Every structure is written in C-alpha cells, then in structure tokens.
Chains A and B, each alone.
Chain A
Amino acid sequence: MYGKEIADGDRYRIPACSICEDEGIVSLKLEMPGVAKEGLEIKVEGNELSVLGRRGAERESGTYLLRERRGESYRKLFTLDESISRDKIDAAYANGILSLTLHVREAAKPRRIAIA
C-alpha cells in the first residue's frame, strides 16, 4: 500500500505534528504550509488514518537567490487504536495548520463506579 502511493513519482515529507488528549477528545495538529484546502485528502481505512496534503507547483519564474523551502507534498500515516471512534473525525484547516479532532469511544472512556 505504501509503495502504491509513492509510485506516482511524487516525493513526500512528514509534516510536524502535535497530538494531545483532553477528556476523551484527541486533537492532532499538523503543520502543512502551502497546501490549499482542495489539496488535502484525509482518509480512514481500517485502523489507518492517512493525511495527504498536496502542494501546488508555485515555482516562480526568475532566479532563485535563496531556496530553503521544500516543495514536496506532505504525507502522514497514523494507526488508530481500538478506542478511537472511526465515524466521528472532524477536520479543520487554517493558516497552514490542519487540525483533526478524534473522539475516544464511550465504551473506552474510564468509568467511575459509585459505591452503593
């Protein structure tokens, strides 16, 4: 599967990512500057969450005096745990940052048992 997607000749880089959990809500933040909303592809297949951010070719005509930015598209794979709900994944994109919100399944949340 990995080979299939790489085979189209594009090169990918891994976006910087932060993952945190707050009371059953897992939020992922991926830094993908230069990707337009249309270039984003977020998929869940089985236990795998894949994020693809295609960068448009923004090459300008002219002489490059400095070239530090890398033009590759972004790609990142996550393996989802059983405790994560598959059908409740929200995504938002602003200022070059993709925010994904995942929810922990009710059944997987810690339960407090009261003593009768």
Chain B
Amino acid sequence: MSIMKWENPAPKDLWDAFNGLRGDMDRALDLFRVPDAMGLLDRSTAPAIDLIETPEDYLVFADLPGVDRKDLELSVTGSILRIKGMKRAEEASEKRKFFRKETWAGSFERTLDLPALVDSDKVSAELVDGVLKVRVPKREEAKAKLITVSVN
C-alpha cells in the first residue's frame, strides 16, 4: 500500500464544527451571567486592594462590604501591612429559603509588603461605605529628598 487515498482529517459531519462552536459560545455567554465580582470571594478570601504611592505616604484601599469595624484588625510590622478581618454571616434560620447566594462570609486576610520603611505610629484608617482606606506615612529617610550639588 504505497499510495492511499487522502482523507481530510476534519470531521465528516459538518455540523460537528458548529456544535463545538456552539458549546464555546454557551460557555462564553455563561461568563456574563455570573456577576463579575463576587465581593471578597473572587480573590479567594483576600479583598481586592489598591495601593497608591505618593511622595509622603502609601494609601491602601480595600473593598470590604459588610465588614464591621470591630471585626477588622490592622497591623504594621516593619514595612508589612496586614489587613485581617471577619465578615459575619447572617443568622441562619430554618424557614429562610435562599434563591440566590453570591455573597460570602468568613474570615479573610491580606498582607502587603510596602516598598519602603513606614512610620507605624502614624498609620490612620477609616472604613466608609464598605471601603477601607489606610494611610501609612513613609519614614523621613524613605522620602525622596532633593539634594543640590554645587559644581565648582
């Protein structure tokens, strides 16, 4: 058998390709049905964070919906900022029937290594409308200084 009739390796059933495409489309559309943010859940029990550097300090924002002030613990060790907390679940009731549950409850933790030395005594934080804002001032030696060099 030196010469064989060449056969197209593609499936003979033309609809196979379309069926595959349809599956892909369905999967793609499924993505839109899920909310694009599951609150704390989508970062596997670590809240989403923004870290902003200004010449004077670091600003940290974290989305913490439903977290109570008293369940939140902030600590600064060296240049490491740790946000730890607990999101309490509502009291369970036997009669309560859930139709949809996308929110999450439990404990979470996030540790950030800040790029410069910080002044841990002057950290300030506030929790407004489910958003935590932490201001961590840089230490004097970590701030950029302008040194003028005189050239003779």
Q: How far is the CA of A64 from the CA of B58 in the complex (A)?
A: 10
Q: Is the CB of A33 within 8 A of B50?
A: no
Q: With A62-B52, A62-B59 given, is the CB distance from A13 to B66 under 8 Å?
A: no
Judging by beta carbons under 8 Å apart, are A31 and B130 in contact?
A: yes
Smallest beta-carbon distance B118→chain A, Å = 13
Residues of A within 8 A of B98 (CB): 18-20
- Nearest-neighbour CB distance to chain A for B136, whole angstroms, equals 12
Instruction: Report B-chain residues with C-beta under 8 Å of the C-beta of A34.
Output: 63, 129-131
Q: Closest B residue to A68 by CB, please name it.
A: B48
Residues on B with beta carbons closer than 8 Å to the beta carbon of A29: 103
Using a Cβ–Cβ cut-off of 8 Å, how many residues does chain A contribute to the interface with B? 34
Complex contacts, A20 vs chain B, CB 8 Å:
96-99, 101
Q: How large is the interface on B (under 10, 10 to 19, 20 to 34, 35 or more residues)?
A: 35 or more
Give complex CA distance A96, B64 in Å.
8
- Determine whether A42 belongs to the interface, using a CB cutoff of 8 Å to chain B: no
Q: Which residues of chain A are near B59, meaning CB under 8 Å?
A: 60, 62
Cα A96 to Cα B39 with chains together (Å): 11
How far is it, in angstroms, between the C-alpha of A36 and the C-alpha of B129 when the chains are bound? Answer: 6
**Within 8 Å CB of B62, what residues of A?**
69
Q: Is B86 an interface residue (CB 8 A)?
A: no
Whole-angstrom CA separation of A36 from B41 in the bound complex: 22
In the bound complex, residues from chain B placing their C-beta under 8 Å from that of A37 are 129
In the complex the two chains form, is B49's CB within 8 Å of A60's CB?
A: no
Q: Chain A residues with Cβ under 8 A from B38's Cβ?
A: 16
Question: Shortest beta-carbon distance, B50 to chain A, in Å?
Answer: 5
| B61: interface (CB < 8 Å) | yes
Proximity string of chain B (98-113) to chain A, C-beta cutoff 8 Å, 1 when within and 0 when not: 1111111000000010
Taking a contact as CB atoms closer than 8 A, the residue among A32, A62, A64 that contacts B65 in the complex is A32
Give bound CA distance, A72 to B98, whole Å.
28
Does any Cβ of A come within 8 Å of B67's Cβ? yes
* 9 residue pairs, one from A and one from B, having the closest CB atoms: A96-B130, A33-B130, A96-B65, A62-B54, A66-B51, A31-B65, A14-B35, A68-B48, A16-B102
Q: A16-B37, A19-B101 are in contact. List 8 more A-B contacts (CB 8 A).
A: A16-B102, A21-B96, A22-B95, A31-B130, A33-B131, A65-B53, A70-B48, A96-B131
